Structure 1
Amino acid sequence: MRFVLIFLAVFVFISCENKTEIEFNSVEITPVFIDSLSIRAMQPLDENRVWFAADKGKVGLIDGDTPKLAIIKYGDSLLHFRSIASTKEAVFVLSISNPAVLYKIGFNGSEATNIEEVYNEKGDNVFYDSMKFWNENEGIAIGDPVENCMSIIITRDGGNTWEKLPCENLPKVEKGEAAFAASNSNIAIFGDNAWVATGGRKSRVMHTADKGKTWKIFDTPIIQGKAMTGIFSIDFRDENNGIIFGGNWEDKPFNEGNKAITQNGGKTWKLIANGKKPGYCSSAKYVPGTEGQGIVAVSLLGISFSGDGGKNWKELSKEGFFAIEFVNDSVAFASGNNRISKLIFRK
């Protein structure tokens, strides 16, 4: 009996460690929306519907073949949106630069019902980068420092009101440390956790395990030291396992120190596929339902895929995008210059 128990324990351990690799051999790319916009923020609802926020004040819901669009003005200005998040009853869009304006757009399941301003921040250094919700009531948005900490605003009432966290409750940033509004993906959420990726002259990961009440910050091996180096995207598949991706925006083919994984909730990070393609990527996501084995990363250079947790990568397309968001284990939306496309990955 003792031998049997030991054998079973060893078998379970080996089974857990040797996860089955997955394989995508091609991707079908179909444009679903074309406009003269820079689109870096999306929020899919299902395989046929996706919200987006873009520059020129434009926000919209692509519903199959039907774009439902709105232009939001702040005074006489057209805002530039790079952050988006949603609950069951609303979608939220947040502008970059000064002023930062956050709007709540009511949603009845098919149409927008009303638009209201729920947060406004003015200042020379104000610049918000991304936004996510933990649940229907609690959400977070992250921005560049205006003092000696990252700018973080939190809602606890479904997005009706937002409060900025004081710097005394947050880790101090280093000189030249900020964040990138490249793809609405420098925040990752799982359970009560949130991870925030920074970049620039210092590139680290901030972590909260209690929805923003307390924070820690951890070093990473990602390339850093210049204004456009560091982490551009972060994703977690559970409370322990995550990936960070980025590189040097000014030298996109460079592929050293631009991708890493953690297995302990972000405390330590290990470089993967170092010195191998792909280089700089602005958005990386785990493929749902693949136990962390499937990862897709996008950039202006194309679409790359790993089926073994990031050890090896292959190029699926040279078509460039800023951001990717999965709907299920084979369907995603990707956004870029002048378009949103539906991606179907095939084995």
Structure 2
Amino acid sequence: MAIGVCGAALAAALAAPAQADAPSGTADGVRDGAQARTGWPGWQLTHTGTDVRFRGLAAVSRSTAWAAGSQGTVLRTTDGGRSWQDVSPPGAADEKLEFRDIEAFDRRRAVVLAIGEGEASRMLRTEDGGATWTETFRNTEPQAFYDCVTFFDRRHGLAMSDPVDGRFRILSTVDGGRSWTVLPDDGMPPALEGEAGFAASGQCLVSSGPKDVWLTTGGGSHARVLHSADRGLTWTAVDTPIPAGEPARGVFAVAFQGRTHGIAVGGDYRTGEASPQAAARSTDGGRSWTPSAEPPPAYRSGVTWLPHSRKAALAVGPTGTDLTTDGGRTWRTVDTGSYDTVDCTRDRACWASGEQGRIARLRY
């Protein structure tokens, strides 16, 4: 009960009226973006000691978080962001692996995904806080390009690849990422021409509960969200109102609260390109999507529900952070700092990461 009350208080604090924007903070350990004046609690940048881009983020608790990024980099904190350890897999920097997603079970165990064509797509696992890593999957299909990974629990998980022979390819694990198997594709609907996933935030494949999982797409004639209720064996595809039609447009991230309430964000990731209708919401598990009445003003690549709130969520992108307090119907910008992905935990910790080594924690 105490946690629920605190979650409600956090949502109320985030709903405070905005007043004025301020330039983004650039120094580690300072408040970022517009947060110093908007009345919302605000991102506080942490000192990471690197300038790589972190598109992969796994928030475990108020004290522990993992981040994965370019140049084969993996960082971990166990003290709430006061310090970060470089726990990158040996040789990953030399091979210039692009880590775009990471899923962590606790402070010691995590699975990280490297993206790219052919053998550049790999999965690695650690069981000792990153002191050692084991490669558990290396793609050998030239057409495959893996984008995201998600876990239902500590044993069962899925990863998704762009279409191979006209259908999205799904990997499955039943042992916590120690081994992976390609699932049959007869339950996967055909991909649209040019359709693919976006490895922008680690949120193009997300799960909720023991069996439900959603996959987001773009690049085709329609931006779609695919849903499976049986851990990836069969899928249904639904069009969303988020614009598509070009390789840079579509749904980039989705977040679900339980099996029913979902929020999708995206747009056009090209700098300077307009992104109207950059968000949509679902109240029926993704069977239908309604455009936000007041969407974020620009492309957004990451989204998460606030802990212990049924209506509050955050969306992030290169031009700012947006808040909804009505389940995705309306959004307002509360911060102008650049972030690619965002994640929250049940003990009321929220983290965000992005370019130039930026990792921040929500302070309140």
Same fold (TM over 0.5): yes
SS class of match (1:140): strand
Deviation at 1:49, TM superposition (A): 1.9
Q: Secondary structure at the match of 2:199?
A: coil
The secondary structure found in structure 2 opposite 1:297 is: strand
User: Given the alignment, which residue of 177, 195, 202 partners 2:214?
Assistant: 195
Structure 2 matches for 1:34-73, cutoff 5 A? 34-64=49-79, 65-73=83-91
Provide the residue aligned with 2:126 in structure 1. 105
More strand by share: 1
Partners of 1:31 and 1:178 lie apart in 2 by: 33
Matched, 1:338 2:320: no
CA contact (8 A) 1:287 1:329 kept: no
Which residue identity does 2:281 align to in structure 1?
I
TM-score (norm 2): 0.82
Give 1:290's aligned residue.
309
Partner residue in 2 for 1:206: 226
Is 1:171–2:192 an aligned residue pair?
A: no
Q: Aligned letter for 1:220?
A: T
> C-alpha distance in 1, partners of 2:333/2:229?
35
Change (3 A) 1:283 1:117: same
Q: What are the Cα deviations for residues 173-196 of structure 1, in whole angstroms up to 9, with x where unaligned?
A: 011000100100112211110011
Q: 1:337 to 1:34 in 2, by over 3 A?
A: farther
Corresponding residue SS for 2:215: strand
- Higher-Rg structure is 1
Give the match's secondary structure for 1:168: coil
**For 1:235, which of 232, 255, 264 is the aligned residue?**
255
Cα distance change, pair 286–85 in 1 and its aligned pair in 2 (3 A): same
Per-residue deviation, 1:113: 4.8
How many pairs align? 322
In 2, Cα distance between the equivalents of 1:67 and 1:151? Answer: 34
Identity %: 26
How far residue 36 of structure 1 moved from its aligned partner, in angstroms, is 2.2
1:148 — aligned with what? 166
Q: Which residue of 2 aligns with 1:279?
A: 298
The verdict on how the C-alpha distance between 1:119 and 1:188 changes in structure 2, with shifts beyond 3 A counting, is same
SS of 2:57's equivalent in the other structure is strand
Question: Are positions 1:22 and 2:22 aligned together?
Answer: no
**Deviation string, structure 1 residues 81-134 (Cα, Å, up to 9, x no partner):** 102112356211111113111111113xxx335311111113443321111110
Q: Is the 8 A contact 2:60 2:104 kept in 1?
A: no
Output the CA distance in 2 between the equivalents of 1:253 and 1:273: 20
**Counterpart selection for 2:336 from 318, 322, 337:** 318
Scaled by the length of structure 1, what TM-score is found? Answer: 0.86
CA–CA distance in structure 2, aligned partners of residues 75 and 34 of structure 1: 16
Residues 197-226 of structure 1: per-residue CA shift (max 9 Å, x gap): 111123111111111222211121110100
Give the 3 Å change call, closer, same or farther, for CA 66–262 of structure 1 in structure 2.
closer
Q: Partners of 2:360 and 2:53 in 1: how far apart?
A: 17
Q: Distance in 1 between matches of 2:312 and 2:93?
A: 45
Judged with a 3 Å threshold, the aligned counterparts in structure 2 of structure 1 residues 72 and 181 are, in CA distance, closer, same or farther, namely farther
- Structure 1 position 63, deviation (Å): 2.8
Q: Which residue of 1 aligns with 2:144?
A: 126
- Return the letter of the residue paired with 2:229: A
Matched to 2:218, the amino acid is G
Asked if 1:262 is matched to 2:269, the reply is no
Distance 1:66 1:83 in 2: 18
